[in-house]
């Protein structure tokens, strides 16, 4: 057996090394020990020559010291190991993909539910109209990207071609394709291919309207780029309020979706909210009242693994027998310490007070929804910017939003007009707003949700429906911003651009004309310079209202971080 040297007694100068003495007797009869007789010459030799054990120990110690010196010297002069140095993940260029937008299905009346979440729908009303408007713009000097609009299953495709009046692209010119007012009856998908390794600039918008039935009102939504992380803020599942979440997977990979639900009293643990499978090229609708019943303020965090999804909530209101409006709750900007919502159309404060005082109309006033998903409460400063500058909120501009819950901030009590809401904190949160139209409980009314939006940059495409009144609403926060808006007409022409100089802390409203140069306006190209600016498109049609945020512009060649390892 191998012995651990550390357990053996150490040999020192006074330790005798060698066999035991032959003269040693039994332990029971010890002899009296006497000093051995040593001759003078032998004594002298022992004093001058060290023992073999002592000599071995000294030589070993010298060898250890020498080796240690060698190691220290090598460590001092050897270069650092390259693998131990932290390295940033390299960015690798990847081919630009196609631009895709998923347009929600026209609003449908919920008829029943077999298991509490899967809905059944009744036919649309006789006056319901649903149409998609789309626009595609080429890069300077390039041909129009191949693009088209088709049903989710690929059927009924309509190609988006260059307008009849568009000319061949010159060195600095662009080609434009428009699709105006195409009637639809279900979920549709806009696809535009990349050209020269640049993503195509393309956008589409769905508009729904009805003048009768329980879904009377106006609803609009951008056809959204699918993603794996989406927030929908401000749903309502209380009595008479119906919220139906639709998940659409337009990719070729299956998507597994988990839902996180947040209410006024905290996060909601709902059976059946996780592991929702959405097959490729399919959609799935969920009645949110089956997961979170009687929630007046509900936010839904959609996260998918596998294929990205588009998500939208069809929200409708029925006050007794009186329809209260319909709209889509679309995803807004992700979590952040600053959220901006624009296109907040607020009516006369006296009319709002009269409306909300009626039984069943408490949710008929404008409100800002704030959702804090993390574990820490957020102290949020809310500012309201109108045409003439900042307006004070009657309830004050600072609110504490509880962690893991939804907080409502009333926006009533300010003069009528269109506003931009800015909310900031040192804790991440998400936000959206709700506004209503109509101040008489006995007359038709409507409701609209506006999500937070990204900062405006260059070349945002804004499809514009042909019916009703249309307004581009743009807010500048801290300092002056210049916003350029260029009309695109149905004949495929890009008309002369105009620029709005917007003072910091104000909101400008730009009415969209019906025609420019004898042709109907079908879209705008919007760009911003200067300080941060945010925008939305507000649609009004009699008592109907809907607001859609301006989406991010198309990007060129993308780069993604690449990490090597296990």
Q: What is the pLDDT of residues 406-433, one digit of tens each?
A: 999 999 899 999 999 999 999 999 999 9
Residue 24's contacts (CB-CB under 8 Å, 6 or more residues apart) are none
In the structure encoding, which two tokens stand for residue 129, read together? Answer: 């109209």
Compare 87 and 478 and report the one with higher pLDDT: 478
Contact 326, 215 (CB under 8 A): yes
Q: How far apart are CA 364 and CA 441, in angstroms?
A: 10
CB 549 within 8 A of CB 490: no
Q: Which two tokens stand for residue 384?
A: 């309201």
Number of neighbouring beta carbons within 10 Å of residue 67? 10
**In angstroms, rounded to a whole number, what is the distance separating the alpha carbons of residues 61 and 79?**
29
Residue 25 belongs to some domain of the structure: no
Within 10 Å of residue 328's Cβ, how many Cβ atoms? 22
Residue 478 maps to a domain: yes
Question: What b/e string do you get for 429-463 counting C-beta neighbours within 10 Å, with b at 16 or more?
Answer: bbbbbbbbbbbebeebbbbbbbbbbbbbeeebbbb
pLDDT-based confidence at residue 241 (cuts at 50, 70, 90): very high
Sign of the CA dihedral with 509 first, then 512, 517, and 521 last: positive
Give 267's contacts (C-beta < 8 A, 6+ positions apart): 260, 261, 404, 405
Q: Which residues pair with 178 in a beta bridge?
A: 135
Please give the full DSSP string across 369-435, using - where no structure is assigned.
EEEE-SSS-EEEEEEEEETTEEE--TT-SEEEEPBTEEEEEE-TTS-SEEEEEEEEEEEEEEEEEEE
User: For residue 156, what pLDDT is reported?
Assistant: 93
55 within domain boundaries: no
Q: Taking a C-beta distance cutoff of 8 angstroms, is the pair 275, 203 a contact?
A: no
Return d(Cα 128, Cα 41) in angstroms, integer: 128
Residue 394: predicted pLDDT? 83
Sign of the dihedral defined by the CA atoms of residues 468, 469, 475, 481, in that order: positive
Q: What percent of the chain has pLDDT over 70?
A: 77
- Identify whether 395 is part of a domain: yes
Longest pairwise C-alpha distance within the chain = 135
Q: What are phi and psi of 3, to 5 degrees?
A: -105, 140
Which residues touch 367 (CB under 8 Å, ≥6 apart)? 408, 409, 410, 411, 433, 434
The per-residue pLDDT for 117 is 72
Contact 32, 24 (CB under 8 A): no
Beta-carbon count within 10 A of 125 CB: 16
Instruction: List the domain range (segments joined by +) for residue 529.
Output: 92-555
* Per-residue pLDDT at 565: 52
Q: CB count, 10 Å around CB of 293?
A: 14
Phi, psi dihedral angles at 66 (to 5 degrees): -65, -40
In 10 A of CB 114, how many CB atoms? 8
Number of domains in the chain: 1
| Tokens coding 267 | 């996060």
The reply to whether 58 falls in a domain is no
Distance, in Å, from the CA atom of 51 to the CA atom of 31, rounded to the nearest integer, reads: 27
Closest CA to 124 of 183, 190, 179: 183
Q: Is residue 34 part of a domain?
A: no
Backbone angles phi, psi at 245, to 5 degrees: -90, 130
C-beta atoms surrounding 141 within 10 Å: 13
Quick: pLDDT tens for 311-369.
999 999 999 888 999 999 999 999 999 999 999 999 999 999 999 999 889 999 999 99
- pLDDT value at position 59? 36
Residue 111 region by backbone torsions, left for phi larger than 0, else alpha for psi between -120 and 50, else beta: alpha
**How far apart are alpha carbons 157 and 171 in whole angstroms?**
31
How far is C-alpha 253 from the geometric centre of its chain's CA atoms? 21
Residue 485 lies in a domain: yes
Whether 79 is covered by a domain: the verdict is no
**Between 129 and 138, residue with greater pLDDT:** 129
Nearest-angstrom CA–CA distance, 240 and 326 = 12
Contacts of 496 (CB under 8 A, 6+ apart): 486, 487
pLDDT digits (tens, 9 = 90+) for 32-91: 444 444 444 444 444 444 444 433 443 344 333 334 344 444 444 444 455 556 666 666
Q: Please provide the DSSP assignment of 274-297 as one string.
A: S-EEE-TTEEEEEEGGGTSTT-SS
Task: Say if residues 146 and 461 touch (Cβ distance below 8 Å).
Answer: no
The pLDDT tens digits for 138-177 are 888 788 899 999 999 999 999 998 876 655 455 457 889 9
What is the average per-residue pLDDT within 224-241?
Answer: 96
β-bridge partners, 386: 389
Q: How far apart are CA 240 and CA 219, in angstroms?
A: 18
Rounded to whole angstroms, the Cα distance separating 518 from 531 reads: 35
Residue 124 DSSP SS3: coil
Of 166 and 294, the structure prediction assigns the larger pLDDT to 294
**What's the first-to-final CA gap in the chain, in angstroms?**
41
What backbone torsions phi and psi does residue 186 show, to the nearest 5 degrees? -155, -165
């Amino acid at each position: 057996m191998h012995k651990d040297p550390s357990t053996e007694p150490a040999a020192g100068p006074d330790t005798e090394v060698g066999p035991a003495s032959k003269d040693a007797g039994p332990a029971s009869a010890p002899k009296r020990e006497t000093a051995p007789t040593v001759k003078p010459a032998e004594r002298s030799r022992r004093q001058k020559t060290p023992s073999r054990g002592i000599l071995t120990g000294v030589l070993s110690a010298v060898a250890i010291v020498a080796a240690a010196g060698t190691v220290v010297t090598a460590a001092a002069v050897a270069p650092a190991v390259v693998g131990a140095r932290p390295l940033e993940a390299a960015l690798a260029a990847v081919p630009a993909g196609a631009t895709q937008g998923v347009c929600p299905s026209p609003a449908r009346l919920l008829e029943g539910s077999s298991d509490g979440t899967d809905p059944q729908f009744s036919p649309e009303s006789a006056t319901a109209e649903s149409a998609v408007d789309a626009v595609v713009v080429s890069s300077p000097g390039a041909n129009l990207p191949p693009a088209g609009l088709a049903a989710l299953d690929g059927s009924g495709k309509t190609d988006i071609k260059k307008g009849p009046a568009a000319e061949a692209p010159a060195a600095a010119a662009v080609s434009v394709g428009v699709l105006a007012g195409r009637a639809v009856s279900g979920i549709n998908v806009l696809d535009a291919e990349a050209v020269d390794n640049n993503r195509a600039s393309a956008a589409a918008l769905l508009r729904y309207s009805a003048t009768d039935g329980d879904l009377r009102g106006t609803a609009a939504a951008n056809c959204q780029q699918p993603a794996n992380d989406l927030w929908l803020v401000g749903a309502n599942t209380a009595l008479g309020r119906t919220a139906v979440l639709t998940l659409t997977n337009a990719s070729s990979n299956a998507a597994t979706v988990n839902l996180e639900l947040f209410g006024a009293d905290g996060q909601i643990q709902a059976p059946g909210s996780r592991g929702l499978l959405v097959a490729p090229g399919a959609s799935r609708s969920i009645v949110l009242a089956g997961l979170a019943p009687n929630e007046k303020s509900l936010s839904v965090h959609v996260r998918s693994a596998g294929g990205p999804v588009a998500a939208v909530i069809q929200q409708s209101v029925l006050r007794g027998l009186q329809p209260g409006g319909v709209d889509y709750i679309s995803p807004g900007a992700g979590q952040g310490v600053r959220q901006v919502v624009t296109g907040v159309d607020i009516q006369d404060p006296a009319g709002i007070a009269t409306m909300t005082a009626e039984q069943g109309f408490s949710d008929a006033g404008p409100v800002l929804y704030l959702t804090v998903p993390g574990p820490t409460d957020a102290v949020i400063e809310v500012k309201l910017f109108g045409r003439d500058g900042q307006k004070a909120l009657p309830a004050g501009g600072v609110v504490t939003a509880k962690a893991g819950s939804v907080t409502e901030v009333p926006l009533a009590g300010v003069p009528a007009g269109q506003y931009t809401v800015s909310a900031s904190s040192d804790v991440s949160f998400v936000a959206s707003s709700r506004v209503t139209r109509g101040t008489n409980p006995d007359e038709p009314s409507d409701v609209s949700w506006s999500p937070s939006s990204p900062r405006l940059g260059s070349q945002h495409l804004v499809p514009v429906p042909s019916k009703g009144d249309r307004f581009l609403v743009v807010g500048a926060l801290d300092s002056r911003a210049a916003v350029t808006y260029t009309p695109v007409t149905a004949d495929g022409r890009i008309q002369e651009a105009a620029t709005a100089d917007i003072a910091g802390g104000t909101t400008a409203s730009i009415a969209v004309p019906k025609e420019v140069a004898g042709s109907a306006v079908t879209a705008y190209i919007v760009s911003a310079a200067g300080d941060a600016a945010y925008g939305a498109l507000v649609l009004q049609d009699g008592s109907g209202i809907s607001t859609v945020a301006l989406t991010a512009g198309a990007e060129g060649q993308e780069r993604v971080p690449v990490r090597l390892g296990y």
